[in-house]
Amino acid sequence: MKNFLNCDISELSFKKVKDEISNISIAKNYKCKQLIDIIEILLNDKRKNVSSLGKHLQKELNAYLGEVERVNSMYEFDKSFEGYKCVAGVDEVGRGPLAGPIVACAVVLDLNILEEDLILYLNDSKKLNSAKREELAEVIKEKALAYNIGISSSYEIDEKGISFSNNKIFLDACNSLKVKPDLVLSDGYLVKNIKIDNKAVIKGDTKSACIAAASILAKVYRDELMKEYALKYPYYDFENNMGYGTQKHIDGLKKYGKCAIHRDSFLTKILSNDF
């Protein structure tokens, strides 16, 4: 950026200016005064196309600063519970599908980090596309102090019920963490019979960094399982619907019947109406 600032931008072609701007990393330079100076120079350029580059760069910077502020507030939320040194977040995915397991994940993040080390774009996994979830999952696994998956099969869901299975995997995920938390934040409702202090957070995957991280890891883990099942049971479009009752899934059930990972207790109405 120094070399760019030392140039007379008015003497550079639009293409040259655009190429130079494309090499600027907002993530690496969002705190640099030089970035503000470059934006100001671009905005003041008499050429409309160059000025528009300044507007675009300013928009990118504002968006990045907003994301830093949003995620920082999620970390601060997790730190706001006084008297606790180690906080975990737990969340599940897969309560509603007609097939496949229900999966939970518990995550302990390092909450005492510098702003530049925040895991940006943490959010409710449903608000992220699959590529972003997979990208974030790798970052979370790399940066988390600990994480652990709990899983309950379709057979167990039929045998014990979805509520029992949901709570069981919360317990499994939290109790086997390598770093033991003294507080567990759970999304939506309390975990029954947990021996660790527990607080429920409504819409926790949008408020808590640890819960959001758990939501993403659980979703990515379960999606990968369902893609593997899709190879074994190719008639239900599992690779796209992840076991939920889409039309292609229902059509597969009508034509081929259920498979080993279907939840019989979830198919009662469908079976009675359509078979």
Residue among 73, 53, 65, 69 nearest 26 (CA): 65
DSSP codes joined into one string, 41-73? HHHT-SSHHHHHHHHHHHHHHHHHHHHHHHHHH
Sheet containing 146-152, strands listed edge to edge, beginning at the edge strand earlier in sequence: 146-152, 102-108, 87-93, 183-187, 198-201
The annotation status of 187 as a binding-site residue, yes or no, is yes
Cα distances (angstroms) measured from residue 36 to each of 32, 43, 54, 114, 274: 7, 11, 10, 22, 63
The annotation status of 92 as a binding-site residue, yes or no, is yes
H helix runs in the chain, sequence order: 2-6, 14-22, 26-29, 33-43, 48-79, 130-143, 154-160, 162-175, 204-207, 209-232, 238-241, 247-256, 264-274
> By the 8 A CB rule, do 223 and 76 touch?
no
CA–CA distance, 267 with 168 (Å, rounded to integer): 22
The annotation status of 67 as a binding-site residue, yes or no, is no
Taking residue 72's Cβ as centre, other Cβ atoms within 10 Å add up to 14
Annotated binding site for a divalent metal cation: 91-92, 187
Annotated binding site: 91-92, 187
